[in-house]
Structure 1
């Protein structure tokens, strides 16, 4: 049970595994008005940056769950480095089947709604762990502009145009699921650049160190094509944001 190695190569230098900067992640934490002792569950937590930095800044407590053993190791090390290892715990487990033993105040899935088979299924996963009146955080892509053809769709890392919705349609979908959207923080093109472009340097440095690795050909092909594809399609067409939700 683990992620393919290509994920850890791409994001080897990243602490935040989505198109948020440190500043945007901090903005989201402030927007939630988190009280000390707020209990959180973060499904598909990656390297745990949200839990760790919010534990330090807002004194929250919580658990992060991720299928990547490398990411969970990095999350535990980050918690120790920030002095919050007594406030947060990280588990190597399948987030799709994990529920909190005791209901939490905030349940999140930031940029990994595939664990629930999409937005609707992920909202249901989060509800399983949430106390009445609690808050859900869902990170999800949306179309900034409607892609004109299949090349733009695939260049934006989607398989079909229907895989994502426009921002208004995504917010409408949340309403159809019986939740209010009470806050949102959106990535911008600069924060997308910082997330995606940093992957290219990670890949290049890995290739220089591992020219004979079995993944070298695959990663070389990705580095050759990814920058142009991102600049031509993904940067203009694909948005991303974290949406703060409460059951009606």
Structure 2
């Protein structure tokens, strides 16, 4: 089973690979705006949905997108071509931790990809090295919306220490030398739309391709994920996206 392929199928109807409605993505990017010619970096870009939305708000800008998922990068390239932005988006198939830091990006995005750096604190340090002194770091991270239950911990394969509450998340950010100038906390409707889209896309693909060797795996993965969400972390795990500047 190609897990990267199945992950991309799961995001077919929700290419913004986070529990956020597009209207709120655009609101966050407007607050993070850094002029029409901004230089943008999307770390763990997936299908580059964030980078492409950012380019729509920075018509003379350029974005670099990094990911290790070849399938996602192929979709990103196709989406950029469809939107007439292919010349403004450069995609890199590589580990985000190995990308040279020149400290010259106006806007750096890392939404739902802090695991690529080993956690939030490491992301604030390593991703922050790409940001100009007056630039913006936009980070999306999970937090405990309520004290984690045993079921939630099992579903997420997590420990209570893996996340903090929302106030603690802001404390971590400020301890690392950043401060929020804006933020969005995903609500229940955004979570439900994201999760139902995730499991639904996999299920639809498997039902439409019954002879595919990965079809049964897709159905199994969708069923397992749905159970982990509905009986585990629903209403327990939250998600916040923060627009950060250096203190």
Q: Give the TM-score taking structure 2 as reference length.
A: 0.90
Show the 5 A alignment for 1:120-199.
Answer: 120-147=121-148, 149-155=149-155, 157-199=156-198
User: Please, which moves more after superposition, 122-131 or 35-44?
Assistant: 122-131
Q: Distance in 2 between matches of 1:19 and 1:116?
A: 21
Per the TM alignment, residue 116 of structure 1 is displaced from its structure 2 partner at its CA by 0.9
SS of 1:153's equivalent in the other structure is helix
Q: Distance in 1 between matches of 2:50 and 2:5?
A: 23
Per the TM alignment, residue 209 of structure 1 is displaced from its structure 2 partner at its CA by 3.8
* C-alpha distance 142-102 of structure 1, shift in aligned 2 (>3 A): closer
SS of 1:75's equivalent in the other structure is helix
Q: Which residue of 2 aligns with 1:46?
A: 46
* C-alpha distance 168-219 of structure 1, shift in aligned 2 (>3 A): same
Runs of 5+ consecutive residues of structure 1 not aligned to the other structure: none
Give a deviation string over 1:45-92, Cα, whole Å, max 9, x none. 111111112212332321111111111111111111111222222222
Q: Which residue of 1 aligns with 2:87?
A: 86
Q: Which residue of 2 aligns with 1:37?
A: 37
Q: Distance in 1 between matches of 2:241 and 2:231?
A: 24
* C-alpha distance 46-166 of structure 1, shift in aligned 2 (>3 A): same
Give a deviation string over 1:133-188, Cα, whole Å, max 9, x none. 221111101111112x3212223x24211111100011001111111122112211
Give a deviation string over 1:11-42, Cα, whole Å, max 9, x none. 23332111111111111112223310011111
Per the TM alignment, residue 225 of structure 1 is displaced from its structure 2 partner at its CA by 4.0
Q: Distance in 1 between matches of 2:200 and 2:3?
A: 20
Could you tell me whether the CA contact under 8 Å between 2:143 and 2:238 is conserved in 1? yes
Could you tell me whether the CA contact under 8 Å between 1:56 and 1:82 is conserved in 2? no
Q: Which residue of 2 aligns with 1:108?
A: 109
Q: Give the TM-score taking structure 1 as reference length.
A: 0.90
* C-alpha distance 169-127 of structure 1, shift in aligned 2 (>3 A): same
Give a deviation string over 1:109-130, Cα, whole Å, max 9, x none. 1111011100111112212212
Q: Distance in 1 between matches of 2:223 and 2:87?
A: 44
SS of 2:235's equivalent in the other structure is helix
Show the 5 A alignment for 1:52-71.
Answer: 52-59=52-59, 60-71=61-72
* C-alpha distance 165-102 of structure 1, shift in aligned 2 (>3 A): closer
Runs of 5+ consecutive residues of structure 2 not aligned to the other structure: none
SS of 1:105's equivalent in the other structure is strand
